[in-house]
Structure formats: structure tokens, C-alpha cells
Amino acid sequence: MTIEIRPTALADAPVRGFEMLIDGRWTAGAEGRTIDRNAPSHGIVVSRYQAATRIDAERAIASARKAFDHGRWPHTTASQRSRVLLKAADLIEARAE
């Protein structure tokens, strides 16, 4: 017995666009280029991501450094940090499916 599965075409599905989160803001890449992701079974573009450059990486690193140096994280105790990281792990695990 042969079963043939024919997936529904994605041609009418909207392409989901994603930006980068840098310094608390969603932003396009410095050069404005994007990377398309095609559905492997259809070859149709289903999502579009910003193509990060060295400039984007440097902006993100500078933002993270500023947040660390002037934020609350370096002033928290190991116990407090542990609670935050364990809570994040629990949330990730709860949404794993």
C-alpha cells in the first residue's frame, strides 16, 4: 500500500519578516540586506531575516557592554542571578514544543 501526501501550497501564505533586537529596539541591518528562508518541501519563501554585518555586531556588542556596565546584573548576587537563569530555563522548556 502506498500513501501519497501532498502538502498544501504555501504560495498564498504571507512571508514573515524578522528584524534584529539591538539596544532595546527592533532594527533592520546596517546594509538593509535580507536572507530568505525557503520551505524545503515547496521552495517558497516563508520568512525573511536581516543580514547582519560587522557594524550590526559591533552595535550589539557595545549595547550589551553598556547594559552590563550600567545595569543591575553586575550588582546582583549569585543567588539572584541563579533564580533568573533557572526561570528563563523553565520558560524555554515549557515552550519547547
Tell me the pLDDT tens digit for each residue of 48-61: 999 999 999 999 99
Dihedral over alpha carbons 12, 13, 14, 15 (to 10 degrees): -110
Give domain status of residue 5, yes or no.
no
Q: What is the pLDDT of residue 39?
A: 87
Q: Does residue 66 belong to any structural domain of this protein?
A: yes
Whether 7 maps to a domain, the answer reads: no
- All residue ranges of the chain with pLDDT < 70 are 1, 3-11
Query: Would you say residue 51 lies in a domain?
Result: yes
- Residue 22 covered by a domain: yes
Task: Please tell me the total count of domains within the chain.
Answer: 1
Could you tell me if residue 23 is left (phi over 0), alpha (psi between -120 and 50 degrees) or otherwise beta? left
Please give the residue range of the domain that contains residue 77: 16-94
pTM given for the model: 0.65
Residue 84 within a domain: yes
Residue 82 placed within a domain: yes
